[in-house]
Structure 1
Amino acid sequence: MKKNKSKFIQNIIDIIPGFLVSLIVALISMFIATFIPKLGAASIAIFLGMFVGNVFLNQKVFQKGYKFSETDLLSYSIVLLGATLSISTISEIGFSGVLFIVLQMAITVIGALFIGKKLGFSDNFRYMMASGNAVCGSSAIAATAPVIGANDKEKGISITIVNVTGIVLMFLLPLISQILYNNETTQTSAMIGGILQSVGQVVASGAMVNEHVKDLSTIFKIVRIIFLVVVVFGLGHLKHKSNKEILEEEVEEIEKGKIKIPWYVIGFFITCALFSAHIISDDISVMCKEISNKFEIIALAAIGLRVNVKDLIKQGKAVSLYGLFIGLIQILTAILLIAVLL
C-alpha cells in the first residue's frame, strides 16, 4: 500500500515540470491570440511549443509532464467536447447538408489513405492523417492513435502537418469562397465548416467573412465531429483487418464487430447523448466547452514541445506534399458537392 502511494506521489512529482512548461506555453499562446485572434491560441500553442521544445526545453526531466499534458488532457478535452454537441444540431443544416458532410468526409478519408500509400507512408500515419483531416484535427488523431497502435512520433508529426494544412486553408478558403460564391452564407459555410480541421480554425475563418457564416460553418463542423466515433471505429477496423500478426481471438472479436476503442471516445459519445437528452444543462455545457478548449490548448502546447523538428525535416518534402494533396482533394470535392447538393 505504502509502495503504491509513494509511486503515485513520485509520478505526480515527475509530471509537474513538463506540465508547468506546457501550461505556461498555453497561457502565453492565449495571451498572444488576443492580439492575433485570426491565428488562434491552439495554432500558436503548437508552434510556440515546437520552438521552445527544440531550442532549449527538450530535456528528459520535462518529458513525462509533456506526455501527461498531451495524452491525458486531450482525452479529457474530447469527453468534455461531447457535452457541447447536440444530435438535434444536424437539423439546422438539413438532409442535404448532412449528406454533403458525410460524402466530404468519406472522400477525404479515402483520398488520404490512397495518397499516403502512393507516397509510401505507414498505415498508422495514413490513418491519422485521414481522421485528422476528415473530422476534427488533433482530437480525431488523439482518438485514432491508440486504436491503431500508433507511436508518439507518428502522432506528433501527423498533428503538426494537419495543423499546418489547416492554418493555410484557414486564410485561403474565404478567398476561394469570395471568388466562387461571393460569400453566400450556405455555400461559404459548407466550404469552411466542411474542410477546416479544428473548430478554432473554422470560427476564425468564418469570422473573416461575417458573423452568419461563422455561426453556420461552426454547425457544419459540429456535424463532422458527431461522426468522430464512426471514423475512429472504421479506421480501427481497417487497421486490425490489415494486421497479419493479430492473435486468433482478436480476429474473432473483429469479425464480431467488437473493436476496443479508448474510454474517452466512448465518453465523448455518452456526453453528447446526455447533452442531446438535456440531462447536461446549457450552463454546464458552456463550462465544459471552456474547460475543453483550455485543455486542448495545453495539450497542443505539449504536442509542440514533443515534436522533434529534425524528424519533421527528414520527412519534409513528402509530408508537405501529402498535406498539399489532401487539401486539394478537400477543396475540389467541396466545390463539386456544393454545386450538386447545395
Structure 2
Amino acid sequence: MMRHELLHQYKTILPGLGLSILVAIIAKICAIFLPDLGGATLAILFGIVLGNIFFKQEVLEVGTKFSESVLLEYSVVLLGFTVTFQTISRLGLNGLGYIMAMMATVIISAILIGKRLGFSDNMSTMMAGGNAVCGSSAIGAIAPSIGAKDEEKGQVITLVNLLGTVMMLTLPLLGAMLYGNHLLANSALLGGTLQSVGQVVAGASLVNQETVSYAMLFKITRILFLVVVVFVFQQRAKKKGTMQVKNLKKVSIPWYVIAFLIVCILNSGVKLPHFFNDGAHQIGTWFETIALAAIGLRLDFKKFMKEGLSFLTYGVLVGLVQTLAALLFIYLFKIS
C-alpha cells in the first residue's frame, strides 16, 4: 500500500517537475549565447512566457509546486557551503539594524494602511507579517495564532504573492538604476523587501549570483525573527480578545534556515575540499534554476486582473512604503 502511494505521488510530481527541468536546461543552453542574462534570469523569463501561453494544465500543478518549494529549500541549504562567518560579518550591526527597522516599518504601516482602507484587523496583521517576514510561510504561522479565518488567510496570501511578483520583477531594475553594481546595497534592497524566499532568489538572480548569496543573508535574518513576530501578534490578539486557546500553534524556524546555519558553521570551522564546495555550488545552482523556471511557470497574470481595486490599492501602497523605506534605511544605515 505504501509503495503504491509513493508511486502515485511520484507520478503526480513528474509532469510539472519534468517541465521545470526542461525549461531550466533550455535556459542554461541559451545562456551560453546570452551570458549577460544568465541561466537563472532566462529560466524565469521562459517560464513566465510558456506558463501563461501554453502550460496551464492542472496536471503540472503538483510538480511545479514541488520544484518551486522543495528544490528551492535545498538550494538554500547548499548555499551554506559558499558562505562563511566572514561573509556574514560584512552585513555587520548596520545590516541587522536595517532589517529590524525595515520589519518594524512594514508591520506598522501595513496595519495602519489596512485599517484606513477598511480591512479587518486579522487581514491587516497577516498582511503585515507576510510582507515583513517571509510571505505565505509567515501568514500560515500567524493565521492560527490570531484566530484568522481560512478565507481571510487565502485572500492575504494571494495579495502578498501578487505584490511580491511585481516587486520581484521591478526592484532589480530600480537597484541597477540607483546602485549600479554595488553588491550590498542591491542585496539589502532585495533581501530586505521581497516577500518569499523564491522571490528573493528570483529577483537577485536578475542581478548576479553573488547578489543571490548576500540577498539571502538579509532574507534569512528576517526569517529568524518569525517566532518573535508571531509571539508579538499573538499577545496583541490576546489583548484584543480575538484569539481563542484552541487556535494556539507552536511556531518554529523553517528547517532549511536551520540547516543553512549548520552548514555555514561547518564551512566556517572546517576547511572542506574544493571539489565538495564546487559540487554543492553546482547542484545548488541547478536546483535554483529549476525552481526559478517553476516560479515562472506558476506565475498567472490573470490573477492580477481578478483582484478587486481595494486589494490592489492595499498591495500597491504597502509595496511603495516597503520600497521607500528600504531606500531610506540603506542610506541611513550606510549599507555599503
Question: Do the structures match in fold with TM over 0.5?
Answer: yes
The two structures have a TM-score, normalised by structure 2, of 0.71
Q: Secondary structure at the match of 1:227?
A: helix
Aligned to 1:167: 169
For residues 87 and 222 of structure 1, do their structure 2 counterparts lie closer, same or farther at Cα, with a shift above 3 Å needed? Answer: farther
Tell me, yes or no, if the aligned pair for 1:33 and 1:44 is still in contact at 8 Å.
Answer: yes
Q: Indicate the RMSD between aligned Cα atoms, in angstroms.
A: 4.0
Kindly provide the CA deviation profile for residues 110-140 of structure 1, in whole angstroms up to 9, marking residues without a partner as x: 4455445655483545433333xxxxxxxx4
Gaps of 5+ in 2: 144-149, 195-199
- The Cα shift of 1:224 comes to 0.9
The two structures have a TM-score, normalised by structure 1, of 0.70
For residues 313 and 95 of structure 1, do their structure 2 counterparts lie closer, same or farther at Cα, with a shift above 3 Å needed? Answer: same
Tell me, yes or no, if the aligned pair for 1:162 and 1:323 is still in contact at 8 Å.
Answer: no
Aligned to 1:18: 16
Distance in structure 2 (CA, Å) of the matches to 1:305 and 1:124: 26
- The Cα shift of 1:89 comes to 2.3
> Which region of structure 1 is more displaced relative to structure 2, 8-17 or 42-51?
42-51
Identity rate, percent: 30
Matched, 1:60 2:58: yes
Question: Partner letter of residue 332 of structure 1?
Answer: L
For residues 64 and 154 of structure 1, do their structure 2 counterparts lie closer, same or farther at Cα, with a shift above 3 Å needed? Answer: farther
Tell me, yes or no, if the aligned pair for 2:105 and 2:325 is still in contact at 8 Å.
Answer: yes
- The Cα shift of 1:72 comes to 2.1
Aligned to 2:325: 333
What aligned pairs does 1:105-184 form with structure 2 within 5 A after superposition?
105-112=103-110, 114-115=112-113, 118-119=116-117, 120=119, 122=123, 123-131=125-133, 140-141=134-135, 143-144=137-138, 146-148=140-142, 158-177=160-179
Aligned to 1:180: none
Gaps of 5+ in 1: 132-139, 178-182, 208-213
Distance in structure 2 (CA, Å) of the matches to 1:38 and 1:126: 36
Distance in structure 2 (CA, Å) of the matches to 1:27 and 1:157: 31
What aligned pairs does 1:189-204 form with structure 2 within 5 A after superposition?
189-196=183-190, 197=194, 198-199=200-201, 201-202=203-204, 204=206
Tell me, yes or no, if the aligned pair for 2:31 and 2:39 is still in contact at 8 Å.
Answer: yes
Q: Secondary structure at the match of 1:290?
A: helix
For residues 99 and 228 of structure 1, do their structure 2 counterparts lie closer, same or farther at Cα, with a shift above 3 Å needed? Answer: closer
Distance in structure 1 (CA, Å) of the matches to 2:292 and 2:110: 23
Matched, 1:77 2:75: yes
Matched, 1:315 2:307: yes
Tell me, yes or no, if the aligned pair for 2:40 and 2:205 is still in contact at 8 Å.
Answer: no
For residues 108 and 17 of structure 1, do their structure 2 counterparts lie closer, same or farther at Cα, with a shift above 3 Å needed? Answer: same
Distance in structure 2 (CA, Å) of the matches to 1:152 and 1:291: 34
Kindly provide the CA deviation profile for residues 154-189 of structure 1, in whole angstroms up to 9, marking residues without a partner as x: 656644532431332212233334xxxxx6x8xx54
- The Cα shift of 1:6 comes to 1.7
What aligned pairs does 1:284-299 form with structure 2 within 5 A after superposition?
284-299=276-291
- The Cα shift of 1:15 comes to 1.6
- The Cα shift of 1:76 comes to 1.9
Distance in structure 2 (CA, Å) of the matches to 1:340 and 1:27: 42
Distance in structure 1 (CA, Å) of the matches to 2:310 and 2:35: 31
Question: Partner letter of residue 19 of structure 1?
Answer: L
